[in-house]
Amino acid sequence: MSEQLQSPEGRSDTLEEPQGGSGLATGSPPSSHPSRAAAIIVTLTVAVIVGLSLWYLVQPQPLLVQGEADATRIDIAARVDGRVGERPVARGDNVAAGQILVEIDNPQILSKFEEAEAQKAVAVADLARIDAGVRQEVVVQRKAAIASAEANLTLAQQTYDRANELVTKGAASAQTLDEATASLDVARRSLEQSKLAYEEAVAGYTKEERGVAQANVDKAEAAVTTLNTQVSEMTVKAPIGAQVYQIGAELGEFVSPGVPLLSLVDLSDVWLSFDLREDLVKGLKVGDKLEVRIPALGDRMVPVEIRTIATRGEYSGWRATRATGDFDLRTFEVRAYPTDKIPDLRPGMSAYLEWRGAR
C-alpha cells in the first residue's frame, strides 16, 4: 500500500512500504570481521618473530674455533757437500727406519779417504818396525865398524909416533907432526862413534821413539775415522719410519752441508692445533677432553685430549697496556691429541671446535 503526500511545492511523494510487513526501512553494510582477523594474525606473527629473535640474541652462542692437523716433521739435511747421485724415494712414499733416502756423489772425499788409509798403513808399519827392534845384521855391521875404527886408530897412532920421532930428530917439519896428530884424533873419534852406534843397535829403540810411532798411528786412525764418517754421510738414511712429505733436492743438484734434502712427516704423531685468546683459555687445563669436527673425514666427531697449552712468541709491536687503559690479549697455542688412532687423519686437515661458554 502506498500513500501520496503532498509537498508544499505541490509535488507528491509516494512512500512504499517495504515487503515483509515491517514498517522500518533498513540497509545491510559490508562485514569487517575477515579483515580484522587477518590483522590480528599478522600482528601475532610479527610479535612471535621479534620475541624469538630477542630470545636468540640473549642466548650464549658457541664460538666456532678453527684449527689444523699437524704432525712431527723432520728436515733431512746433508752433512757433506756434493751432487745428488741417487734418490730412490718420491714424495708420498712410506719409508722405514734406516732406509736409504739420498746418495751423494763426492769423489774428492773418497780420494782423501783412500789417502788417509795409506798413511795409516805407513804409520802402522813404522810402529811394527820399532817394536821388532834393530835387525841382527845391523848389530853385526856396527860391530864390524868398531873393528875397522880400531884398525884406523892403530895406523894413526903408528903414523903419529914416527912423525914425532922424525920431528924430534929434525928430519921432518912440524907440519908433518900436526897432520899426524889430527889423523890420530879423527881415528879416536871414529872409534868412539862406532862403539856408540853398536851399543845403540844392541839396546834397540827407546820408549820415546815407540811413543812417537804410536802417536803417528793414532793420528792416522783419527784421520781415517773422520773421513770414514764423511763417506758414510754420503748415504742419507731415514732416522725413523715416516712418510716423505717434501723433496728439496733433485738428481744432479749440488748440495751443501745443512741444506735440506727432503722432509719427513711422522704420521704416528699427529695432533690438532688451535689458537685461542687468553680470555678463552681460562679454565682450560692439560688433560681436558673435547670433541672436534673434521670436515675432511665426513664431519666426523673426533674425541681429543689437550696435552699442551703454550703461549705464542712475543713481537716487537706487542704492548702490555694501551694508552686507553685496555690490555692486549695474548694468543695461546692449544695442542689436542686424538684419544684413538685415526689412520685417515693427515697434516693440513681442518678441524672445528665449538668452544664452550663463548658468546
Range from 54-58, 78-82, 267-271 carrying the lowest mean pLDDT: 54-58
User: Using CA of residue 133, residue 138, residue 144, residue 150, what is the dihedral sign?
Assistant: negative
Range from 116-120, 141-145, 221-225 carrying the lowest mean pLDDT: 141-145
In CATH, 74-105+233-261 is 3.20.20.100 = no
| Cβ neighbours of residue 123 closer than 8 Å, sequence gap 6 or more | 213, 216, 217, 219, 220
Mean pLDDT, range 247-269, rounded to an integer: 90
- pLDDT for residue 212 is more than 80: yes
User: What pLDDT sits at residue 25?
Assistant: 44
Whole-prediction pTM: 0.58
Asked if 305 and 285 count as a contact pair (C-beta separation under 8 A), the reply is no
User: What would the CATH number be for the domain defined by 63-72+267-355?
Assistant: 2.40.30.170
Residue with cell 683459555: 281
User: What pLDDT sits at residue 309?
Assistant: 87
Share of the chain above pLDDT 90, in %: 36
Identity of the residue numbered 122: V
Cα gap 308→67, rounded to integer Å: 14
Q: How many beta carbons lie within 10 A of that of residue 193, not counting itself? A: 13
What is the CA angle 102-106-108, rounded to 5?
160
Range from 64-68, 344-348, 355-359 carrying the lowest mean pLDDT: 355-359
Distance of CA 231 to the CA centre of its chain: 22
138-168 pLDDT tens trace: 878 888 888 899 899 899 899 888 888 888 8
User: What pLDDT sits at residue 62?
Assistant: 67
User: What pLDDT sits at residue 30?
Assistant: 52
C-alpha cell at 347: 697434516
User: What pLDDT sits at residue 283?
Assistant: 78
In Å, how far are 171, 193, 277, 310, 350 from 286, measured between CA atoms? 120, 87, 16, 11, 22
In CATH, 114-230 is 1.10.287.470 = yes
285-329 pLDDT tens trace: 888 888 899 999 988 999 999 998 887 765 544 555 555 555 667
Banded model confidence at residue 282, pLDDT cuts 50, 70, 90: confident
Banded model confidence at residue 9, pLDDT cuts 50, 70, 90: very low
User: What pLDDT sits at residue 27?
Assistant: 47
Max Cα separation, the chain?
A: 221
3-class SS shares of the chain: helix, strand, coil, % to 5: 40, 30, 30
| Cβ neighbours of residue 130 closer than 8 Å, sequence gap 6 or more | 205, 209, 210, 213
Cα gap 137→191, rounded to integer Å: 20
Range from 43-57, 89-103, 111-125, 190-204 carrying the lowest mean pLDDT: 43-57
Question: What's the mean per-residue pLDDT of the chain?
Answer: 82
Residue 16: which of 26, 4, 7, 28 has the closest Cα? 4
332-345 pLDDT tens trace: 888 999 998 888 88
User: What pLDDT sits at residue 102?
Assistant: 94
Angle between helices 136-169 and 174-203 (to 10 degrees): 160
In Å, how far are 87, 110, 258, 292 from 79, measured between CA atoms? 16, 15, 6, 42
Residue 130: which of 212, 219, 220, 194 has the closest Cα? 212
Cα gap 64→316, rounded to integer Å: 29
| Cβ neighbours of residue 29 closer than 8 Å, sequence gap 6 or more | none
Is it true that 63-72+267-355 and 74-105+233-261 share their CATH fold? no
Compare 24 and 34 and report the one with higher pLDDT.
Answer: 34
Where are the chain's structural domains? 63-72+267-355, 74-105+233-261, 114-230
- pLDDT for residue 2 is more than 50: no
Residue with cell 680470555: 279
Banded model confidence at residue 112, pLDDT cuts 50, 70, 90: very high
- pLDDT for residue 104 is more than 50: yes
- pLDDT for residue 5 is more than 50: no
User: What pLDDT sits at residue 314?
Assistant: 58
Compare 18 and 168 and report the one with higher pLDDT.
Answer: 168
Residue 174: which of 189, 182, 186 has the closest Cα? 182
- pLDDT for residue 224 is more than 80: yes
